[in-house]
Amino acid sequence: MTSPQQPQPDPAANGTEAQPQPAPGTPPQAPAAPPMPPAAPAVPQAPPAQAAPPAQQPAPEQPAPAAEAGTMMLQAQPAPAPAGEAGTMMLQAQTPGQQPQPAPADRPAPAPAAPPREAGTMMLQAQPMPEPQPLAAHGPGKDAGTMMLQAQPQAPAPAQAPQPYAQAPAAPPAGPAPGAGYVSPIPASPTHLGHALASEWTKIRSVRSTIWTLGVMAVLVLGIGALVATAVSTNESIGATPPLFFGFFGMLLGILCVLPLGVLVVSSEYGTGMIRTTLTACPARGRVLAAKALVFFGLTFVVTTVVTGLVAIMDNALLGDLSRAEVTGAEWLKSTVGVSLYVSFLGLLALAVGSLIRHSAGAITIMIGVVLLPFVLSMFMLTDSLSDLRNFLLGYSIPNQITVMYGSKFPFVDGGPSGWEPLWIVMGIAALALGGAYAVMRQRDV
């Protein structure tokens, strides 16, 4: 924007006041209004100005500045200009008694009224576009001045035809392109049963229940076996009883330690919520159950075999000379490996019951009842009418089956299993229980 200054005629040269010249083509001026009293020189104040509405121009297609230059001249005069002149708006001060007219609602509130006897004139005059000159004050003094606002022509923006709506092409599906993508530096291999076995081995060897149960079982079997063998060795003879039989007393109590461990292998994870993490890492539930069973069975079998082997060696050393029975290799195998397999499968039965019940205390109670309840009930069946049921319960009770595995049996029992039959019985029952646990584990949620 350039603000040139136009020279103004000196009003003191001809002794008359400078009158604004109408622009070419403007209508003749109306008769002058009677002059107003001169403004008091003591209080100089810039007169408030209001711009007269310029001539309306045709609205362009797009908003752009007006192409016609305009000049706004602020001129101080000793006397107000006559009213009614074209292109001139006179602001006349009002006396205190006069009330200003209210401004329209769509315009801002006018400035406060000026003191009395102050008047001002603002003239808007259209002039041909002059050369831009620096702004300078001229006239009788610095009170008068002219500021010209020059509009720069701008080319109207070309109208754009409406474009039809075009649908954007569908984005390609997210994900790596075929043959490309992120490749992990960690070697990945499909999961298998070995991974589940490693996980279950880590869990069973890192909990204190494993150490406590198997440790107490070893102490009971070894301690009670040594005490019984020492006490019996004071006799002159033990008759036809095999010396390996006396390991039965310690193993009967040792079973009561293996059963809780079998239950806790599964039920403890249900109690703590760890089973959710286990099944998230390995969704194949059959693989999880098989890994738990294999790890528990292997650990129990190894520990029991070592303990029964030590007890068998000790009993044979202390009682071998007192027994008339000859210990064969088959009896050694059945009293060590056979007994260890029997106890391990009995622990698998406890594991299956724990998976079915999913409650540690309830499953342990059930297994203790399975071991002891038939034998205890048969002790109270003294009538002849219940003799057959008594013999059945005594013959197939867990204590009598362990006795058979040690090469003997209770003297007051008629019938019952013999040889390796107790092992096949407990294997079948454990297999059925594990099958039921697998079926239930697949159907219900954790």
Kindly write down the DSSP assignment for every residue of 309-345, as one continuous string.
Answer: HHHHHHHHHHHGGGB-SPPPHHHHHIIIIIHHHHHHH
Per-residue pLDDT of the chain (446 residues; tens, 9 = 90+): 444 444 444 444 444 444 444 444 444 444 444 445 444 444 444 444 444 444 455 545 555 454 455 555 555 555 544 444 445 555 555 554 444 455 555 555 555 555 555 555 566 565 666 565 555 544 554 555 555 556 566 666 566 655 555 455 555 555 555 555 777 787 777 888 888 999 999 999 998 989 999 999 999 999 999 999 899 888 888 888 888 888 889 999 999 999 999 999 999 999 888 899 988 888 899 999 999 999 999 999 999 999 999 999 998 888 888 877 788 888 899 999 999 999 999 999 999 999 999 999 999 999 999 999 998 998 888 888 888 888 888 888 999 999 999 888 877 777 788 889 999 999 999 999 999 999 999 988 87
Half-sphere exposure of 226 (CA within 13 A, CB side): 7
What pLDDT does 154 receive? 62
What pLDDT does 66 receive? 47
Beta strands in 83-154 (DSSP E): 88-92, 119-125, 145-149
**What Cα–Cα distance (Å) separates residue 212 from each residue in 133, 209, 226, 261, 283?**
107, 5, 21, 9, 31
Phi, psi angle pair for 59, to nearest 5°: -70, 125
The verdict on residue 323 lying in a domain is yes
* Domain extent for 232: 194-443
The verdict on residue 77 lying in a domain is no
Kindly write down the DSSP assignment for every residue of 143-158, as one continuous string.
Answer: T-EEEEE-PPP-PPPP
Residues 8 and 143 sit within 8 Å (Cβ to Cβ): no
What pLDDT does 37 receive? 47
The Cα 347–Cα 64 span in angstroms is 95
What pLDDT does 45 receive? 47
The Cα 221–Cα 342 span in angstroms is 15
The Cα 355–Cα 202 span in angstroms is 20
Tokens representing 175 are 């994900």
The verdict on residue 216 lying in a domain is yes
What pLDDT does 234 receive? 86
Helix, strand, coil: what percent of the chain each, to 5?
Answer: 45, 5, 50
The Cα 338–Cα 342 span in angstroms is 6
Q: Are strands 70-74 and 119-125 parallel, antiparallel or unpaired?
A: antiparallel
The Cα 148–Cα 150 span in angstroms is 6
The verdict on residue 147 lying in a domain is no
> Rounded to the nearest 5 degrees, what angle is found at the Cα of 393, between the Cα atoms of 392 and 396?
80
The verdict on residue 33 lying in a domain is no
Could you give the number of structural domains in the chain? 1
The verdict on residue 413 lying in a domain is yes
The verdict on residue 395 lying in a domain is yes
The verdict on residue 35 lying in a domain is no
